């Protein structure tokens, strides 16, 4: 059975701390650059999707258009069944 020496435990802890603090420093310097890159990519993607939508008719600036619904209302089925009047019993 292998026993861990004090030096190997200390070396492992120091390596973990070095990686942790190194990662924090890298994120502090390169984080804003990476974030800016992804935000510009997402912004460009939204811009392309917005530009691909077809215009909904040619309208002059300031023109008001009122669109009306069709006048044929849904026909209701009057023959839905027998109506039963219930009385409450005390």
Q: Is pTM, for the whole model, over 0.85?
A: no
Residue 3 pLDDT grade (very low, low, confident, very high; cuts 50, 70, 90): confident
Average pLDDT over residues 3-9: 87
Using CA atoms, how far apart are residues 17 and 24, in angstroms rounded to an integer?
Answer: 11
Distance CA 81, CA 67 (A): 38
Asked if residue 38 lies in contact with residue 44, where contact means CB atoms within 8 angstroms, the answer is no
Q: Which residue has the higher pLDDT, 48 or 69?
A: 48
Output the pLDDT for position 78.
65
pLDDT at 21: 97
């Amino acid at each position: 059975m292998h026993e861990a020496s004090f030096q190997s435990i200390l070396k492992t802890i120091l390596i973990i701390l070095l990686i942790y603090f190194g990662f924090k420093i890298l994120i502090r310097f390169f984080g804003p650059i990476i974030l800016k890159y992804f935000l510009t990519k997402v912004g460009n993607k939204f811009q392309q999707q917005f530009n691909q939508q077809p215009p909904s008719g040619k309208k002059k600036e300031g023109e008001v258009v009122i669109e009306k619904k069709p006048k044929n209302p849904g026909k209701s089925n009057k023959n839905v069944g027998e109506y039963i009047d219930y009385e409450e019993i005390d």
